[in-house]
Amino acid sequence: MVGRRLRLLVGLWALAEVIVLVLVAQWIGVGWTVLATLATSALGWVLLARQGTRALAELRERARTRRSAGRELGDAGLIGVGGLLMVLPGFLGDLVGLLCLLPGTRSLVRAVLGRLIASRVPVGLRPPVRVESVRTAEVPDAGPAPAAGPLVIEGEVLRGPDGRPLR
């Protein structure tokens, strides 16, 4: 089902790119359209090199300091997709690629993609996720917790069909 939707989306995108290229060629001429397409591809290579180098440096810094690199990984992915869209011929792809490559608009693309992905996640799994234990849900308040001693949380280890614990 997802593969069919993806093929349909890619086909519609390619059709829209061809229509835009024909319209631009009618407007400014075929030679200028080819030149503009080559110029946007060159711009894509330059932006990909500059932003890609910056993204890799940020990822290296996060790895060196052992901090989470979630946002940096997302930025690197958007830069890769944006660079690919800029390098491929077509003005619609160039526009979307430029939005992914420029730091000022990348957060907008990230927010739109985040909302799109969050809308596809089942309601019970959307952030913030609240976990409630059945064993502790009915326990009345026993007053303040003791000041010393380890915190004990009851639980059970779930095992898969092979007998190993699930993670």
pLDDT of residue 135: 56
Domain extent at residue 30: 2-122
Give the pTM.
0.66
Please tell me the total count of domains within the chain. 1
pLDDT of residue 140: 56
Residue 9 lies in a domain: yes
DSSP readout, 42-104?
Answer: HHHHHHHHHHHHHHHHHHHHHHHTT---HHHHHHHHHHHHHHHHHHSS-HHHHHHHHHHHSHH
Over the chain (167 residues), the average pLDDT of each successive run of 10 is 87 94 93 93 90 89 84 88 90 92 89 86 70 56 62 70 69
Residue 36 lies in a domain: yes
Residue 141 lies in a domain: no
Residue 28 lies in a domain: yes
Residue 55 lies in a domain: yes
Residue 68 lies in a domain: yes
pLDDT of residue 11: 93
Residue 137 lies in a domain: no
pLDDT of residue 28: 93
Helix, strand, or coil here: 115? helix
pLDDT of residue 134: 59
Residue 165 lies in a domain: no
